[in-house]
Structure 1
Amino acid sequence: MRNKETLGKRLSLQEIKDTQLNILLEFEKICDKKGLTFYLCGGSLLGAVRHKGFIPWDDDIDICMTRPEYNRLCELARNDELDGPEWLKIVCYDNGTSRYPFIKVLDKRTVVYNDFFREEEYDNLWIDLLPVDGLPDDEDKVAELYRKVTTYRKYVQMKHIRPFEGKSLSKKLIKPFLFLFANIINTDRYNDKLITISTAFPYEKAKNVGIVTEGLYGVHEAIPREAYEKAIEVEFEGHTFKATSYWHEYLCNLFGDYMQLPPEDKRKTHDMKAYRLND
């Protein structure tokens, strides 16, 4: 991990967004060449629909891809067959290049310093690419699946926290114990469990699908597969990207009255500390 005192210029929120948009555009070129399709999802799809771009106080981009195409992309990255610019890198747990059970597309010319988590070889500005997996037909089983995923994800995160950093005194006091526990139980195996249960119901055979490994909205992530696969185009920062035709129902499930702006005290930003590396 680089010492933050040796980093280059700290980037403004707008510069962070410009960098992430550039990552997205370059990644789109790779997908077009390789015959892969991704959609805007989560807050990025909300931003496209409500703001025609980033949510003003947000500072990340989320996209998704079906598990079969996601696996193919991992293989292309593993075999160094992406044909992208030198500064762009794709990392994922599947290839042993990341602790995250999803893909991060990185700009290696930048670095991000996180006050609360220890990153390793992938502490660059990024966009997240989340796999869309099949879900069981039974709603109770879907709920149980997401409960397990949430638990496993927390175990994995505990291993990478900064043990003496926190926004409150209570978090600073408890984190060393969580960190010690996580390293004793070898949380890497929980990533394996997470991926195993996420892929237990093959995408191609499922009636409903959803983002599972990083499915922060639980059962609300579920989308009928046939509706999901019908694409529409949405505007995002002056460019056109694909999204699911089920976008309205999806955004209602995740955000309720999604066109209504949240109160100002609920407009959370990550206050990301990102830097452009010196040449």
Structure 2
Amino acid sequence: MKFLELSEIHQVTIGVVKKIIDICKNQNIKYFVMYGSLIGAVRHKGFIPWDDDFDIIMLRPEYERFMNYCYTHKEELKPYQLINRYTNENYPFNISRFCDCRYEMIRDDGEENAGMGIFVDIYPFDGLGNNPMSMMDKFILKKFFLITCLNYATIQKINTKNDGVLKSACKRLIWGICHAIGKKRWLRLLVKFRNTYDINESKYVGCVVWDQGLFIFEKDWFNNPIMMEFEGMKVAVPDKYHEILSIVYGNYMELPTPDKRIPSHEYKIIKI
């Protein structure tokens, strides 16, 4: 079994990105490069050398249009495929991944690969109202609760190896309760929660369905994409990329220490 080198993963990922861009261009769907990939575009004009994936965001209406296109053109998109909780019940995340399924993910964390190959993360941004600072504590607390419970309901086993007796017992109890309620119920609650605010009426947006924390951005920052070089191609980035990256990372132009320059995912890739 020959695992792909990071440089090979990068090359295949570029093909996945180009396919997404083609769909967005043909369907007039607005996307933005985000997170580590946005740092890569700004700082490296390509991948951060140790990064192992690619991140895109879409505002919820654009995200839904992209999802629907992929659902209705599934056969003609092959070998590319959109994978999320609605296309594969074993998929463990609340965002979608657009994958090149000529490759297979080999996970070493005990979770199923859910059909994922080499992928691009696609994050939906939902509305956060017009004055989020007045209610963000409660909102983030509820987000943390729902996503934690959904994660517990999804995983087949929990790691209590380094936990004490009391902590281990609590984790097992929570895991049991969340499984008893079922991940479909938690998913429905998360869908209802993400619709707390109408994105069309919101001044602020953020990714409600991912991670326990929450970064808050002005929706207007995602109105006007500018084109930036990334590994020899042009990709759309927010015109307020400096403000966005400063919120998420602080001094994003400063390289991390050498011990942190490692891929963030615990899996390997093979060609099928």
TM-score bracket, shorter-length normalisation: 0.7 to 0.9
User: Structure 2: where are the runs of 5+ without partners?
Assistant: none
User: SS at the partner of 2:12?
Assistant: helix
Cα distance in 2 between the residues matched to 1:247 and 1:133: 18
Cα distance in 2 between the residues matched to 1:259 and 1:190: 38
Q: Which residue of 2 aligns with 1:186?
A: 182
When residues 215 and 199 of structure 1 are mapped into structure 2, their CA distance, relative to the original with a 3 A threshold, is: farther
For the pair 1:149 / 2:150, whether they are aligned, the reply is no
Cα distance in 1 between the residues matched to 2:50 and 2:30: 28
Cα distance in 2 between the residues matched to 1:17 and 1:240: 16
Cα distance in 2 between the residues matched to 1:143 and 1:82: 44
Q: Is the 8 A contact 2:144 2:213 kept in 1?
A: no
For the pair 1:52 / 2:52, whether they are aligned, the reply is no
Q: Which residue of 2 aligns with 1:214?
A: 210
Q: Is the 8 A contact 2:55 2:120 kept in 1?
A: yes
Cα distance in 2 between the residues matched to 1:181 and 1:81: 36
Q: Which residue of 1 aligns with 2:119?
A: 126
Corresponding pairs, count? 266
Of residues 96-105 and 32-41 in structure 1, the stretch that sits farther from structure 2 once superposed is 96-105
Of residues 248-257 and 69-78 in structure 1, the stretch that sits farther from structure 2 once superposed is 69-78
**2:220 partner amino acid:** E
1:87 to 71, 79, 82: 79
Equivalent positions of 1:241-260 (< 5 A) are 241-260=235-254
Cα distance in 2 between the residues matched to 1:205 and 1:134: 8
When residues 110 and 180 of structure 1 are mapped into structure 2, their CA distance, relative to the original with a 3 A threshold, is: farther
Q: Which residue of 2 aligns with 1:205?
A: 201
When residues 17 and 179 of structure 1 are mapped into structure 2, their CA distance, relative to the original with a 3 A threshold, is: farther
Q: Which residue of 2 aligns with 1:24?
A: 17
Q: With structure 1 as the length reference, what TM-score do the two structures score?
A: 0.84
User: SS at the partner of 2:135?
Assistant: helix
- Identical-pair percentage: 25
Q: CA deviation at 1:242?
A: 0.6
User: SS at the partner of 1:159?
Assistant: helix
Q: CA deviation at 1:141?
A: 1.9
Cα distance in 1 between the residues matched to 2:23 and 2:107: 29
When residues 13 and 120 of structure 1 are mapped into structure 2, their CA distance, relative to the original with a 3 A threshold, is: closer
Equivalent positions of 1:91-130 (< 5 A) are 91-94=83-86, 98-119=91-112, 121-130=114-123
Q: Which residue of 1 aligns with 2:153?
A: 159
User: SS at the partner of 1:93?
Assistant: coil
Q: Which residue of 1 aligns with 2:65?
A: 72
Of residues 209-218 and 101-110 in structure 1, the stretch that sits farther from structure 2 once superposed is 209-218
Cα distance in 2 between the residues matched to 1:117 and 1:154: 18
User: Structure 1: where are the runs of 5+ without partners?
Assistant: 1-7
Cα distance in 2 between the residues matched to 1:38 and 1:140: 29
2:225 to 213, 218, 231: 231
**2:83 partner amino acid:** V
When residues 243 and 201 of structure 1 are mapped into structure 2, their CA distance, relative to the original with a 3 A threshold, is: same
When residues 115 and 230 of structure 1 are mapped into structure 2, their CA distance, relative to the original with a 3 A threshold, is: same
Q: Is the 8 A contact 1:125 1:274 kept in 2?
A: no
Q: CA deviation at 1:114?
A: 1.9
Q: CA deviation at 1:217?
A: 5.0
When residues 16 and 120 of structure 1 are mapped into structure 2, their CA distance, relative to the original with a 3 A threshold, is: closer
Q: CA deviation at 1:135?
A: 0.7
Q: With structure 2 as the length reference, what TM-score do the two structures score?
A: 0.86
Cα distance in 2 between the residues matched to 1:153 and 1:117: 20
Q: Is the 8 A contact 2:4 2:269 kept in 1?
A: yes
Cα distance in 1 between the residues matched to 2:138 and 2:262: 29
**1:93 partner amino acid:** R
**2:27 partner amino acid:** K
When residues 177 and 270 of structure 1 are mapped into structure 2, their CA distance, relative to the original with a 3 A threshold, is: farther
When residues 265 and 217 of structure 1 are mapped into structure 2, their CA distance, relative to the original with a 3 A threshold, is: farther
User: SS at the partner of 1:260?
Assistant: coil
